[in-house]
Structure 1
């Protein structure tokens, strides 16, 4: 586990090297805010209103998936209690104020990949775009100094699995 953590920290520092570029910093802040969850809710509501049948199914699948994912995310985060890189690495300062103390798993990555998975199930033509956007949301959290890469991978897996379980349960 120690070797894994050391490798994760090395990869984190590699990504941190890109923080010196102002456009990367600004883009990371903007992308991270887009992953705060408001846009997922807005998209779900718009589809619910604009697409009577598929929009209702999409909204229900997303709501159930988030209902499954959120308690799992909180359980993992509060059980594992991995400190954020900005709290333990003296040379790293977070570029945003983290919402809590712990970093594993990334809630932003979980939500982004959950949303991408649900979108892909209902709108397969958008799959590549939404998964790329989800990856960029996760990357932004590393660039902002609040997550290690493994936090992002764990969050992505949590979001993906939560969505897939609900989609299978709902028969989609």
Structure 2
């Protein structure tokens, strides 16, 4: 068995554990709201808000970083073509309809960690709250049944790396 098969086996086991939780219905309801808070249009609105507030460097960091993050995200999605849990597991249906076909990496998680990193640089007193939100975005994607755990872990790393790169270049 190769390394990817081992990772997938652990992923499926962890995913199944999450789906077997007693309060999954409540977690799903909360997960929908948390996941919605990480939709892309909200980030565009925030970038505009920062631009109008005179935070030009932050706006540029957000624009450059998201451009890099989205390109890498799409390359990884199309390169790995990992099936989502509903397509990979028998007798499982997700709780929402995902916006695209493939699972790896989680774009919502990547975007959330990107924003958490960037905003923590400008507003350090909010970093605990921002990272708590970003982590919950990743968890929500698992509990909604559209991502395996490693999808969200790699999404978090991708978003963090793109934010660090953009800040390193522009700030």
Q: What's the TM-score once normalised by structure 2's chain length? A: 0.93
**Structure 1 residues 21, 155: CA separation in 2 closer, same or farther (over 3 Å shift)?**
closer
Q: Is the 8 A contact 1:76 1:104 kept in 2?
A: yes
Q: Return the offset for 1:59.
A: 1.0
Whole-Å separation in 2 of the counterparts to 1:126 and 1:87 = 38
- 1:73 matched to 2:37: no
Q: Is the 8 A contact 1:18 1:143 kept in 2?
A: no
CA-to-aligned-CA distance 1:84-130 (integer Å, 9 cap, x gap): 01111113211011111110001111111111111011111111111
SS at match of 2:98: coil
Q: Is the 8 A contact 1:109 1:159 kept in 2?
A: yes
User: Structure 2, unaligned stretches of length 5 or more?
Assistant: none
Q: What's the TM-score once normalised by structure 1's chain length? A: 0.92
Structure 1 equivalent of residue 56 of structure 2: 56
Q: Is the 8 A contact 2:24 2:143 kept in 1?
A: no
Q: Return the offset for 1:19.
A: 7.3
Whole-Å separation in 2 of the counterparts to 1:62 and 1:18 = 37
How many residue pairs are counted as aligned between the two chains? 168
User: Structure 1, unaligned stretches of length 5 or more?
Assistant: none
Structure 1 equivalent of residue 146 of structure 2: 146
Q: Return the offset for 1:18.
A: 3.1
SS at match of 1:18: coil
Whole-Å separation in 1 of the counterparts to 2:109 and 2:10 = 20
Structure 1 equivalent of residue 27 of structure 2: 24
Q: Indicate the RMSD between aligned Cα atoms, in angstroms.
A: 1.3
Structure 1 equivalent of residue 122 of structure 2: 122
- 1:7 matched to 2:18: no
Whole-Å separation in 2 of the counterparts to 1:20 and 1:86 = 20
Whole-Å separation in 2 of the counterparts to 1:71 and 1:48 = 23
